[in-house]
């Protein structure tokens, strides 16, 4: 929950430190978020802060390594505005997504190994 709630903060501020500390070096989603947020801020752009509600729905433990989990999570984000380097605003629509977040307990902290969106056809009827 903490990691996913850093997403709006990273885009609003360009500060990727906490997000990066929790990201595994091989996490493609993590690298993409950090690269996009950094590029936006270095060019003079930003995103207005927005409210995001993150709700873990269920988790599975890896059969081969009990330190690895996959957490199915609902993320509801309110509509917000992103700004390009010239300050030109663009509207970002509200969203309601289901994500699979693969995390690993290193013995002292959690590391996010992967994040993947679940398509509408893969959603459970229990939501």
Q: Are 24 and 41 in contact (CB under 8 A)?
A: no
Per DSSP, the residues of the chain read: -HHHHHHHHHHHH---HHHHHHB-TT-HHHHHHHHHHHHHHHTT-EE----EEEEEEEEEE-SS-TTEEEEEEEEEE--EEEE-TT--EEEE--EEEEEEEEEEE-SSSEEEEEEEEPPGGG--TT-
In terms of Cα–Cα distance, which of 3, 113, 115, 29 is closest to 67?
113
2-119 folds as: Nuclear Transport Factor 2; Chain: A, (3.10.450)
pLDDT tier for residue 127 given thresholds of 50, 70 and 90: very low
Distance CA 36, CA 42 (A): 10
Range 93-115 average pLDDT: 97
Domain ranges of the chain: 2-119
Range 92-121 average pLDDT: 93
Instruction: Give the pTM.
Output: 0.87
- Residue 120: pLDDT over 80: no
Tokens representing 102?
A: 């693969």
| Per-residue confidence (pLDDT) for residue 126, from 0 to 100 | 40
- Residue 6: pLDDT over 80: yes
């Amino acid at each position: 929950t903490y990691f996913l709630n850093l997403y709006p903060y990273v885009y609003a501020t360009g500060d990727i430190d906490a997000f990066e500390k929790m990201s595994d070096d091989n996490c493609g989603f993590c690298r993409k978020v950090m690269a996009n947020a950094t590029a936006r801020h270095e060019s003079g752009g930003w995103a207005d802060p927005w409210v995001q509600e993150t709700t873990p729905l269920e988790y599975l433990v890896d059969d081969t390594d009990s330190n690895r989990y996959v957490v199915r999570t609902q993320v509801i984000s309110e509509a917000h505005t992103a700004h390009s380097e010239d300050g030109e605003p663009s509207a970002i629509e509200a969203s309601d997504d289901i994500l699979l977040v693969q995390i690993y307990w290193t013995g002292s902290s959690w590391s996010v190994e992967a994040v993947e969106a679940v398509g509408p056809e893969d959603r459970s009827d229990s939501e």
